[in-house]
Structure 1
Amino acid sequence: MSKASDFIDALRRIETDGNVEPMAALFGPDAELSNPAITRPLHGQDGARNFWRSYRHTFGEVRSEFRCVVESECASFLEWTSRGTLSHGAAFSYDGVSVIEHPAGAITRFKSYFDPKALGLQLEHAA
């Protein structure tokens, strides 16, 4: 399996049953994780656990669909749309791109790009 496929499979586990361990296992000890919604990057497998737990707890239900996946030996680029419901039941949808660097197999850097304002407005309207 490719690193992108491993990542997508692990994300499915998080989205369906909240299990972050398969995802955390993909990250190296010095990995860096970030996105526009967090103020400073998280690091390592513990950082990955915290990052993905926080992601899952933001939503009541969530499912990501991948439109375009490009992969090389060192990195993967995934274009996605995530849809579902917020914890209060309101529907949401947002788009983004994730860059996953994995030069030696384990993920060394994960960065997601999306418009936090668009997602934030959906979160505000649900409150």
Structure 2
Amino acid sequence: MSKASEFIEALHRIEESGDVEPMARLFAPDAELSNPTVSRPLHGPDGARNFWRSYRHTFGEVRSEFRCVVESDEAAILEWTSRGKLSHGGEFSYDGVSVIEHPAGAIRRFKAYFDPRALGLQLEHAA
């Protein structure tokens, strides 16, 4: 199974059940995780656990769909849309791209790119 496929499978598990352990196991001890809403990168499997727990707790329900996945032996680029419901019942949808670097097998760097203002406005209006 490709690293991108493992990542997508682990993400869907987080979205469905909140179980972050399969995702945390994909990250190297010195991995770095970040996105536009993280003030400073998180590190390693513990950082991955915190990062993905925070992601899941932001939404009541969430499901990500991947439109384009490009992968080499050392990296993957995933274009996605995440949709769902907030805990208040309001709906949201936002698009982005994630870059996963995995030169030695384990993920060494994860960076997501999306417009945090667009998502923030949806979160504010649904509250």
- TM norm structure 1: 0.99
CA distance in structure 1 between the aligned counterparts of 2:28 and 2:21, rounded to whole angstroms: 13
CA distance in structure 2 between the aligned counterparts of 1:88 and 1:38, rounded to whole angstroms: 24
Partner of 2:47: 47
CA distance in structure 2 between the aligned counterparts of 1:30 and 1:56, rounded to whole angstroms: 23
* CA-CA distance at 1:87 after TM superposition: 1.3
* CA-CA distance at 1:93 after TM superposition: 0.1
> Structure 2, unaligned stretches of length 5 or more?
none
What does the per-residue CA deviation read over 1:47-67, in whole Å, with 9 as the maximum and x for residues that have no partner?
000000000000000000000
Does residue 9 (structure 1) correspond to residue 46 (structure 2)? The answer is: no
What does the per-residue CA deviation read over 1:21-59, in whole Å, with 9 as the maximum and x for residues that have no partner?
000000000000000011000000000000000000000
Partner of 1:35: 35
Partner of 1:87: 87
Matches within 5 A, 1:48-127: 48-127=48-127
CA distance in structure 1 between the aligned counterparts of 2:38 and 2:126, rounded to whole angstroms: 20
> Structure 1, unaligned stretches of length 5 or more?
none
Report the secondary structure of 1:59's partner residue.
coil
* Percent identity between the two aligned chains: 83
Number of residue pairs matched? 127
- TM norm structure 2: 0.99
CA distance in structure 1 between the aligned counterparts of 2:30 and 2:85, rounded to whole angstroms: 33
What does the per-residue CA deviation read over 1:76-107, in whole Å, with 9 as the maximum and x for residues that have no partner?
00000000001111000000000000000000
